[in-house]
């Protein structure tokens, strides 16, 4: 293999995205970096996703179609990793797309500076490509960081999009046997990235918005997620182990950051609870977690978060449940009145 143009395996999990997967594939094909294999994992789609992909594969021998029974996005990505032949691995969801210089921009610091992982900023867009408001990432220049620096400034880099999402490439050798958790339907990308970071010496980040997350209308409203409590506990556990292993809790900012995360999770769990009884079980299960102790280190909070904080510390699960439910009704009415 030519060291100047290593093969990148771009893994695309696809499930019932016949309307969008073509645009996704074309954005990868049109990248300025050409030494690619494009692995499309059709995760048991009930529509004609496989036919759409096959039509592209017939014209581009870089495209590999893998058909499998439905098993979720993590299992589909893992299937792609197992099949990948590239020295580097990238992931693009089948209803998203990337800029023409996404891969070239991210492979360059890997080749020239030895970065084992490289991430870009992102832009959220509507299905027809219109930009949506995005959180301010807070960085304007390219930079290199180490796994220790990620831990020491975890919540800063989380807000900057360095930790979560798939808007990045990884060197295949550091991925090794790491796979996406198949029990997580939320946060699986963040947990995966942290495990990869452990094996890196250098991580590159650029503020350029090179990955486009397509936001569909059904993503705008909260949907109940069965098993949310168990999944969030697994994901936070992954974060906690990373921060603990790198000694990041020695910093007040880290303890406060974890406290604020847990403060938010207690209210977020209401959205995924089917009853007050279920929420009560979730509430007290959260309080038994070893990292719950950081809730007391949350630092300065605004009025709403202080109400949550009060409810959590005083075991007023019923108060928190009804506050969030009332707010959900208010927001629903507000949307209907627009």
- When mean pLDDT is compared across 271-280, 288-297, 316-325, the lowest value belongs to 288-297
Select the more confidently predicted residue: 46 or 333.
46
79 in a structural domain: yes
18 in a structural domain: yes
CATH number at residue 203: 3.90.550.10
Q: Are residues 282 and 164 in the same domain?
A: no
Of 219, 240, 275, the one marking the end of a domain is 219
Contacts of 88 (CB under 8 A, 6+ apart): 6, 7, 8, 9, 107, 110, 169, 170, 171, 172
Which band of pLDDT confidence, cut at 50, 70 and 90, is reported for residue 220? Answer: very low
Q: What is the pTM of this model?
A: 0.92
Which band of pLDDT confidence, cut at 50, 70 and 90, is reported for residue 3? Answer: low
Q: pLDDT tens across 17-48, in order? A: 999 999 999 999 999 999 999 999 999 999 99
Q: Are residues 293 and 167 in the same domain?
A: no
Task: Kindly tell me the sign of the dihedral angle through the C-alpha atoms of 95, 127, 268, 164.
Answer: positive
3 in a structural domain: no
88 in a structural domain: yes
- Asked whether residue 81 carries a pLDDT value surpassing 60, the answer given is yes
Between CA 185 and CA 221 the distance in angstroms is: 17
Q: Are residues 70 and 134 in the same domain?
A: yes
- Residue linked to tokens 């010496």: 201
Of 192, 219, 246, the one marking the end of a domain is 219
Of 219, 236, 266, the one marking the end of a domain is 219
Q: For residue 153, what are the domain limits?
A: 8-219
What's the residue count for the chain? 338
Which band of pLDDT confidence, cut at 50, 70 and 90, is reported for residue 218? Answer: low
Q: Are residues 200 and 234 in the same domain?
A: no
1 in a structural domain: no
Q: Are residues 110 and 236 in the same domain?
A: no
Our measurement of the distance from residue 200's CA atom to the centroid of its chain's CA atoms, rounded to an integer in Å, reads 19
Q: Are residues 62 and 38 in the same domain?
A: yes
């Amino acid at each position: 293999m030519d060291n100047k143009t290593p093969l990148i395996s771009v893994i695309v999990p696809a499930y019932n995205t016949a309307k969008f997967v073509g645009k996704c594939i074309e954005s990868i094909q049109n990248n300025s970096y050409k030494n690619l294999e494009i692995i499309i994992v059709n995760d048991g789609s009930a529509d004609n996703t496989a036919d759409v992909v096959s039509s592209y594969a017939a014209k581009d021998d870089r495209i590999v179609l893998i058909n499998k029974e439905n098993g979720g996005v993590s299992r589909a990505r893992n299937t792609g990793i197992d099949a990948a032949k590239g020295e580097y691995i990238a992931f693009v969801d089948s209803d998203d797309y990337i800029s023409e210089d996404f891969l070239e921009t991210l492979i360059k610091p890997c080749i020239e500076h030895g970065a084992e992982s490289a991430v870009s900023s992102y832009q959220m867009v509507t299905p027809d490509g219109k930009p949506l408001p995005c959180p301010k990432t807070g960085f304007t220049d390219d930079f290199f960081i180490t796994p220790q620096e990620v831990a020491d400034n975890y919540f800063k880099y989380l807000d900057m999009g360095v930790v979560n999402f798939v808007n990045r490439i990884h060197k295949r050798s550091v991925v090794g046997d790491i796979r996406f958790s198949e029990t997580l339907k939320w946060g699986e990308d963040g947990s995966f990235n942290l495990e990869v970071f452990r094996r890196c010496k250098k991580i590159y980040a650029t503020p350029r918005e090179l990955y486009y997350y397509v936001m569909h209308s059904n993503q705008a409203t909260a949907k109940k997620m069965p098993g949310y409590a168990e999944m969030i506990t697994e994901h936070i556990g992954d974060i906690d182990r990373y921060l603990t292993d790198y000694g990041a809790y020695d910093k007040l900012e880290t303890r406060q950051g974890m406290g604020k995360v847990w403060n938010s999770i207690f209210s977020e769990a209401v959205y995924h609870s089917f009853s007050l009884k279920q929420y009560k079980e979730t509430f007290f299960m959260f309080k038994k977690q070893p990292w719950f102790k950081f809730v007391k280190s949350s630092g300065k909070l605004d009025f709403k978060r202080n109400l949550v904080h009060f409810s959590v510390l005083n075991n007023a699960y019923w108060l928190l449940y009804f506050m969030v439910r009332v707010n959900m009704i208010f927001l629903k009415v507000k949307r209907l009145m627009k």
